[in-house]
Amino acid sequence: MSQVLYELRASWAIAKKDAAIYYLKPNILVSGALFPLFMFLAFSVGRPAEPALMIPGLVAITILFSSSTIEPVSIPIERRMKTFDRLLSAPISLHAIVLGESLSGFLYSIGIASVPCIAGFVLFGTGLSNGIPFLIGVVLTAFCFATMGTLFAAYPTESPGDIMSMLNLVRLPLIFISGIFIPIASIPYPGQLLVYCSPLTYGTDLIRAGFSGPTLFHPAVDLVMLLLFIGVFQVLANRLYKRFNE
């Protein structure tokens, strides 16, 4: 138990370090906050939809980009400055490092995602009909994509642009196969199979359940699938960091 607490304290220290250094960097603010907002406006302006349907999509997109932006920027920079090697040589496990890096993206995402939530409540009068699935959806989706960002950052490069390019090849398609802009029923049949492979599908579905919007699955299904994706991303991230840093 003492070792577990030590590892958790180390993870928290890593998250606080990233928060102090990287949260206000211009490229992170643009990629994590402004880009998803502009993308949402580009596809939603002029479309007849109730705020209760649009706000969950905006929250989901904001979480996707903000939570997966910190690690692809911070880890390559620290590789270049050789501080990441110092972190790897510290008397902590890779699990603690992966968890700490994921926590930094998670906490950043929670803060950024609160902006569209408050805007929906204040400006549009959008109310939550069930706060439990909404809160669970926001928390699990943020941690899921924060872990995904940490996973991609395992690629051994000192350039954030290399990782962001690869990451966008995954993030952008996820938006269009997850039922945010395009109804899943309108997606051609082979593409509908990819819907079930997207963690954003289950995160958006769970967030939408909090607003009593149309959902695809029972909230329990969304919960289990998000936990499954988190577990898979954490395991893969640990293996990749071990492989690339042996």
Give 10-residue mean pLDDT values along the chain (246 residues): 85 89 76 67 58 75 88 90 85 88 91 78 68 90 94 90 90 83 74 84 89 82 95 93 80
pTM (two decimals) = 0.88
Q: What is the pLDDT of residue 28?
A: 72
Question: Virtual CA dihedral for 92, 72, 137, 121, nearest 10 degrees?
Answer: 130
Determine the Cα–Cα distance for residues 58 and 48; give it in Å rounded to an integer.
Answer: 15
- pLDDT at position 217 is 87
Contact 106, 67 (CB under 8 A): yes
Do 27 and 160 touch, CB atoms closer than 8 A? yes
* Residues 238 and 98: beta-carbon distance below 8 Å: yes
Reported as half-sphere exposure (CB side, CA atoms, 13 A), residue 138 has a value of 22
CA 30 to chain centre: 15
**What tokens were used for 68?**
């997966």
Q: Is 208 within 8 Å of 215 (Cβ atoms)?
A: yes
Biggest CA–CA distance in the chain, Å, is: 56
pLDDT for the residue 245:
72
Look at residue 126 in the predicted model and tell me its pLDDT.
66
The label of the residue with tokens 């906490």 reads: 107
- CA 178, CA 187: separation in Å to the nearest integer? 10
